[in-house]
Chain A
């Protein structure tokens, strides 16, 4: 889009454009349009809620109904990250001026547990959490529990999300919970677990705060836990 075209846009046009770009999952365009929208004087909170999050909601719904697939979800996650990198300083300034405006969605540290290298399910949850406004720190696969805990402390996470596809790597999730008990930090972090073999009974047995059968349900679970914490 040219400078002239941007100049002719109304606030509604900007919001619609941001939403569409997020749905398309174009990271470069997302960063650019947010920068232009800020320059045009749009409220960063409006950009966040009515543009970015609204677009992400559409992607989540289309994924849920089977109209979209994993690539669209991951591209939208990437576009949101690019947009947020541009928006973040303005958002922080707005929050500093008026702390009541801050909407705490939550910070999640996520990873596939040590000695498990499966990542598709974890990536879906990671992308959906990002698309739902969570601050997500994705540590990848084969992540030792000490690394997860260190990162959770560093970013002051609300939730640690563990994924395992293998029955033989699932016990590592229980190890994390035992470690949190041992360090006295069990109350500090919510722990959610997931992966094809993980059942609600298993999650309960190891003392996790919950599990979900798919990425959409995982976001709902994370939102519920955050809201209970508040």
Chain B
């Protein structure tokens, strides 16, 4: 097994290349060649594919890409190269069981199979979404109080005591500690103190990450984010997060946000880049689990056809070739108190569940505004559980998702998106429950999805 100090050495001593040349001559060109070699294509009418050969080809192309390129260190402008055997050995060693949280609230993550009837685990929250301090705790209550939630992810604080949080400033230390204090306190208040968390998100730089590696804040049974930069890149800031976890032991969530339409080109190339990213981040991020979050170049959301397809094929590629714990983000375009949000959540949850992922979300309103509530998280979990229980075929699931797409795809043409309303406009804040209009919308859409064929919902 590769010693992490060896990776640090390679980041210093690997071949030099400019970033522009890495992006274009290495990532873009090599990916295009792989897409051509394997004749990779996608059909927007099949966002859930029933083609094992395609999933395998995407995996093989991604593995080749990872072997040929390695990972770029932006800090040193060097390539961190790996021997093919090191990457393959890393894939064989990926965790097959991971306990998050503690006591009665602990959950065990596991790799899900395609059409797995075991229920996906539910990470509740609006990951990465900026929240004003006055809404943060209420948002967390909204997610954590949902019985279907297994673990908590969270948004970020934008201010601490009226002061703006700035990347790299000392206030990030206070911000992350404040975030963790609120999370831990809230979990105790809702009676789930041992719930596992993916947290420490209020500090973008490594400062906040270093500041909360303590059992009073982020426990070893919780997770923190180790992002891989677009595309196939790391830097010392993020490597510092990995190093910070070495003895302490907190769970490393390898976040890969491949841009669909970015350097990989169209959806198939983006999927290849995404696969290669996970294969590399497995070593560079010492990943305990993979956090899949493709971003659409224009629309951001994970609910476009292309991003749904990428989530589908990347999950199937790993489920068939290198089973690992895959948690997949739902980032809808729409926000609270819109029907489209619920349609988006349903479509995305079906795609993730039947193709081998656990569910995390929802990052409502593109995660830009605090316009998410516990209700759509509940719906995400309910749809995911129903899709797993019901034993849908991939074709049936695809048909359902296509129906749902017709219900919400128009929002991608809206110049201002479909952000909906803030939590405090969608919830009765005294009792922390949906206002009647939001509750009614949820019940109507749930009924519609049931009629579309998800009868166990």
Contact = CB atoms under 8 A, between A and B. Distances in A.
Interface in A5-21: none
Contact of A74 (B24, B205, B261, B266): B24
A71 B24 contact: yes
B263 A71 contact: yes
A129 B261 CA distance: 19
B32 interface: yes
B164 A171 contact: yes
B24 A75 contact: yes
Contact of A213 (B29, B205, B265, B415): B415
A168 B259 CA distance: 21
A114 B23 CA distance: 21
B167 interface: yes
B130 A71 contact: no
B168 interface: yes
A166 B130 CA distance: 9
B166 interface: yes
A190 interface: no
A117 B368 contact: no
Contacts of B401: none
Given A70-B262, A75-B24, A166-B204, A117 B229 contact: yes
A10 B266 CA distance: 37
Nearest to A71: B28
Given A71-B32, A78-B24, A117-B74, A171 B166 contact: yes
A89 interface: no
Contacts of A102: none
B282 interface: no
A86 B401 CA distance: 52
Interface in B224-277: 229-230, 235, 237, 259, 261-266
A196 B20 CA distance: 22
B259 A70 contact: yes
A69 B29 CA distance: 13
A70 B368 contact: no
A69 B20 CA distance: 16
A49 interface: no
A158 interface: no
A138 to B, nearest CB: 9
A164 to B, nearest CB: 9
Contacts of B265: 69-71
B166 A117 contact: no
A36 B28 CA distance: 29
A168 B172 contact: yes
B303 interface: no
Contacts of B20: 78
A37 interface: no
Contacts of B165: 168
Contacts of A70: 28, 259, 261-263, 265, 297
Nearest to A141: B74
B166 A169 contact: yes
Interface in A61-116: 66, 69-71, 74-75, 78, 114-116
Interface in A159-204: 166-169, 171-172, 196-197
A214 interface: yes
A40 interface: no
B32 A168 contact: no
A79 to B, nearest CB: 11
A120 B262 contact: yes
Contacts of B284: none
B156 interface: yes
A66 B260 CA distance: 11
B300 interface: yes
A196 B166 contact: no
B73 interface: no
Interface in A124-171: 124, 140, 166-169, 171
A145 to B, nearest CB: 13
B158 interface: yes
A212 B172 CA distance: 29
B407 interface: no
Which of B19, B23, B166, B264 is most buried by chain A, counting CB atoms within 10 A of its CB? B166
A34 B264 CA distance: 30
Contacts of B262: 69-70, 120
B415 to A, nearest CB: 7
Contacts of A71: 24, 28-29, 32, 263, 265
Nearest to B202: A168
Contacts of A75: 24, 28
B45 interface: no
Contacts of B205: 115
Contacts of B368: 196-197
A166 to B, nearest CB: 5
Contact of A168 (B23, B167, B300, B366): B167
A119 to B, nearest CB: 8
Interface string B388-416: 00000000000000000000000000010
21 contacts: A69-B261, A69-B262, A70-B261, A70-B263, A70-B297, A71-B32, A71-B265, A74-B24, A74-B28, A75-B28, A78-B24, A115-B166, A115-B167, A115-B204, A116-B167, A118-B230, A120-B297, A124-B297, A167-B158, A168-B204, A169-B167
Q: Which 9 A-B pairs rank lowest in CB-CB distance, beginning with the nearest?
A: A71-B28, A115-B167, A115-B168, A168-B167, A69-B265, A167-B130, A169-B167, A70-B262, A69-B261
Given A115-B205, A120-B263, A124-B297, 15 more contacts: A69-B262, A70-B297, A71-B263, A78-B24, A115-B204, A117-B74, A120-B259, A120-B262, A120-B297, A168-B165, A169-B166, A196-B300, A196-B366, A213-B415, A214-B298
